[in-house]
Homo-oligomer: A and B are copies of this chain.
Amino acid sequence: RPLSAVPAASSEPPAPLAADRLATPCERADVPVARPPAFPHTVFVGHNNCDTDSVMAAIGAAALYNGHPARCNQAVNAETRYLLDRFGEPVPPPANDPRFVGKNWGLVDTAELAQVPAGVVLGRLVAVVDHHGLGADSVSTAHPVHIDMRPWGSCATIVAYKFWEASEPLPRKVAPLLMAAILSDTLNLRSPTTTPADRYAAKHLAKVSGMNATEVQDLVRGMFRAKSDVSGLTPAQVISLDYKEYAMGAHRVGWGTAETVSPRQYVDQAPALNDALRAHRRRRGLDAIFFSAVDVLRMRSLLLVPSPAEQ
């Protein structure tokens, strides 16, 4: 590669990552297939406050590596439960299940130290599969481990690719779970984080699952409806469903969010939610707190502003 062929330097930001090139299977029959390492007796688990992607990626990685899936120590959310019920998959045990003591660990969907569920022993970490990148507060280990991070729309997409790269048959039972996780994390392939890899994986997983486009969209409606159902929850529980705290300069800010097909319910109970937000802000000593409801059908958001501090 002569250097004269290097294109002129430019000052634009890093190129958009990864327009994945696709090929037909076995285009190169002379290429050896190098299977992935096995991680037996290894428990795969996602982040605290587990969501569909973290649970399904754990189930997928456990299937690929002959390990065991776990969930975070909280209950799975209504969307995840709907999907597990729908496809006859049991809810994985929590990371702090006593039967996992002494096992090796694989992290999926996170590499952030603060997001690792209790029960995980980092000294026995053997693998990380994540789509969030390497922050300053990532896990670090004294021994080398397998780490695979790709800036794609969901961790489930990476797990699906790992099956294909290894020429490992992807179990028909696992395919719809990974597909649903991709559609969940990318808001039905419409979020700005969606990559060609996510589209490719979702399409092929639907094929392996034996689902046509109509059946997939029926599933998405079911997922979104399940996720939207906050009836029976207190306002304090609603704002905690998907909640994170951030340092913004000198300020500490809390942000809860909900994805919904019925944003009206949040407008209707705005006074009670605002009360809960103010109480939470006081209890956590925050400078500001917000709650947004994302209308996943119309792709717009409602933002609650509990007091002048947030304006």
Contact = CB atoms under 8 A, between A and B. Distances in A.
B140 A151 contact: no
A221 to B, nearest CB: 27
A11 interface: yes
Interface string A126-150: 1010011111101111011111111
Given A138-B140, A140-B135, A151-B146, A34 B22 contact: yes
Contacts of A36: 20-21
A77 to B, nearest CB: 22
A147 B147 contact: yes
B26 A25 contact: yes
A144 B161 contact: no
A14 B104 contact: yes
A164 interface: yes
Contact of A25 (B33, B131, B201): B33
A24 to B, nearest CB: 7
Contacts of A29: 25-26
A69 interface: yes
Contacts of A15: 39-42, 104, 126
A261 B17 CA distance: 45
| Interface SS, A side | loop
A35 interface: yes
Nearest to A161: B34
A131 B143 CA distance: 11
Interface in A1-58: 1, 3, 6-7, 9-11, 13-15, 17-42
Given A41-B15, A140-B138, A146-B17, A169 B31 contact: yes
A166 interface: yes
A93 B6 CA distance: 12
A24 B35 CA distance: 10
B146 A201 contact: no
- Chain B CB within 10 Å, residue with most, of A132, A166, A201: A166
Nearest to A5: B68
A279 interface: no
Interface string A94-136: 0001011111100000000000000000011110100111111
Interface of A: 1, 3, 6-7, 9-11, 13-15, 17-42, 62, 68-69, 93, 97, 99-104, 123-126, 128, 131-136, 138-141, 143-151, 161, 163-170, 197, 200-201, 204
